[in-house]
Chain A
């Protein structure tokens, strides 16, 4: 077990509860002390005290596994039950998945974010399946009056080799329910070579319904008598409602209610001031928005413009190095005495998440109780927000989790949930579905914040990197960075060279910011790996060569601020693998005549090295191929889903760089509105993507995020190789 998965609280023990299913069969509930990820402990956050796994076996042999986490397209509704089914040793075709409602007391933490589901659940889910299998074996042993050790299992059946007898799990499930559950830590687990489900490509459990257009997303929720709502908010971030004339909107066709709502002014709990329009059809509500006459107080947003932010960043660079985040050795002296010294500034813009399913939520308030259907990544935080913003007690709320049409970090925030609850509470007895327009979604995001970097590197006489510094200008109140705007002081080359300074300055903002897929890393990797490519060129080597030199011998480097140790050996292995599969050479053009660029990054416990081959014609960049080498531990749980996550991350990164994605502000008003001015990747730009897994001996970790960061600098480094033009600002904008 790797250090990061160390169970911090050793005295807590797992509890297994077995019971008889209604209608017969075994129901097993495991309350398992959660392996507190070291990161949570470092941050002083106590993870939920336990994790629960629910598995039941019906008399007909059907295995039901409760999926507790939100499914946002990351595949967790399939991959976690695979872990249970594997150790239960049943046939995957026998397995049914049930989506859990939100219930902290039963399920502990229910969230999707940070690529944490796999590392947190890898052991407990398998233990639960193994415990159920052990109980079924024991029941069969009693029934046949033979030692349990003589029994084997395969595909949901128990076999007694000596007598040739066999039975299905369902036949002893009820008897097993009367047995004392085993010690969870003592149940034997399979070796990887015994796996029959884990490691095989498994089709997502909702896929068959998705291709038929079945109603499984939040926005598909339908309740009898339901009305549809829009929520008009201030055109500028941070604006407050002064007065509104609702009469014309109220008279509009199909409109039933128009409700001015005074929020709490707290962006975190999400109840912005606004005007709800509720109609019999969403489009009618949306049309009626034009009939509202609203006066907003926009003074808070004055001066919050992209051009002003740029000027403030320039001023921050001019005024010094900012506050130190990390100071190793004496970088100032070493930079001054280096044989060669290079400097460069990098920047990247605010970007939106733009999940395909627009933000939405459905709520029904009646008899003092609230029922909610939500596509949320953090539904439990939603309950907290409802309590804080609206005073609704969590125990009076029933919260159903729906499949979410993409998350990417946007649905870590629950503003839409608070808004619909405020509307539903004002109209008791009527189910309300709030749907944001795409324009709402682009203009009211919790954006990936922009940032600026001023790098300096000193290169020694033998071409070695002797000193490195990065002055980061980000957003924040001067003490704490805004959400999603923090630096990573463990970012390479930190820990790999002696003399290094990371420092930071902050610009205050009223713009709501947040985590976007591989938060921090998606931007920091672009800047740092692009600049290290500059260092490599200046030092007469290439970036894979420079990185391998810097990494040096195989060892673990303790983390500075995120609790996850960095394994230089695993980094070396993915770099060497991608060099091999891509036939890496920066000088020689590839088969399609393109040039190659390379980058490496370590984020969310995953090690990824990527090579992009691209060619440039005028202002157009064509990406021919991307090679990915990744190490997320010893086992890929579901190769089907895993490869999809990697391809998606690569395309996501290419889109951030190449389609022109940038959110810009004028006095707090977002200038973009829809996919015409905030573009996403489309099929014609999609390259061939080749993936190689490097299997280390570490426990498996998550894949929602870590494949994204390296693709952006691999691309910009390829553009440099192709054209000699260094891309120091995103999105890529070439002049012909």
Chain B
């Protein structure tokens, strides 16, 4: 099947079986490798993208189901004010260790802050619970979200 996909503000033409997950269209067909494969079952959140602004696991979205929805990936999130704020906050306290899951973490955090400008800790925990960080950078991810939300000025990590 041929698809015209709206990804990162451009139209991409791909030919793929309808049931191919968006993740593998991005990574293997379009060369957008920032979106990561972690589990293929929607357990880990490494492959999180935005579909019309909502955080979605791209390993669970078939290419045939995308239609005219607008997809945004980590490669393009910095072009939004919120995405850029999150990236800067991530760097301010150097959230990452290996860094592999961080694209998905940022995409989930971005969807959280778009919906809830100043989330409390329970809201942060619940919005981020689907994103695994094997290195255990969770304290810093929480702090970076607070920094990006303007709720924390300093570089404290707790």
Interface residues of A (CB under 8 A from B): 72-75, 201, 203-204, 206-208, 210-217, 219-220, 222, 228, 253, 280-284, 354-358, 403-408, 435, 437-438, 640-641, 643-645, 647-652, 655, 674-676, 680-684, 686, 688-689
Contacts and interface: CB of A to CB of B under 8 A. Distances in A.
A660 B26 CA distance: 33
Contacts of B124: 683
B16 A281 contact: yes
Contacts of A354: 134
A241 B100 CA distance: 34
Nearest to B31: A222
A210 B96 contact: yes
A207 B94 contact: yes
Nearest to A214: B34
A245 to B, nearest CB: 23
B26 to A, nearest CB: 10
A612 B139 CA distance: 16
Q: Which 6 A-B pairs have the closest CB atoms?
A: A213-B34, A73-B98, A405-B100, A651-B136, A213-B74, A283-B24
Interface in B89-121: 90-91, 93-94, 96-103, 106
A304 B32 CA distance: 43
Contact of A356 (B34, B38, B141): B38
Interface in B122-136: 124-126, 128-136
B10 interface: no
Interface string B71-91: 001110010000000110011
Contacts of A201: 94, 155
A675 B43 contact: yes
A226 B95 CA distance: 33
Contacts, number: 190
A73 B95 CA distance: 11
B126 A215 contact: no
A356 B97 contact: no
Contacts of A207: 90-91, 94, 96, 99
Nearest to A354: B134
26 contacts: A73-B99, A201-B155, A207-B94, A208-B91, A213-B32, A216-B99, A219-B33, A253-B17, A282-B24, A354-B134, A405-B98, A435-B37, A438-B38, A438-B40, A640-B93, A640-B94, A648-B136, A651-B136, A652-B136, A675-B44, A681-B138, A682-B131, A683-B133, A686-B142, A688-B139, A689-B158
* Dominant secondary structure of chain A at its interface with chain B: loop
Contacts of A355: 98, 100, 134
B94 A683 contact: no
B44 to A, nearest CB: 6
B24 A281 contact: yes
A475 B117 CA distance: 53
B157 interface: yes
A437 B136 contact: no
Contact of B98 (A281, A283, A357, A688): A357
A211 B106 CA distance: 8
A683 B39 contact: no
Contacts of B134: 354-356, 406, 408, 680
A703 to B, nearest CB: 11
Contacts of A655: 136
B137 A647 contact: yes
Contact of A204 (B87, B94, B125, B141): B94
B41 interface: yes
B99 A403 contact: yes
B56 interface: no
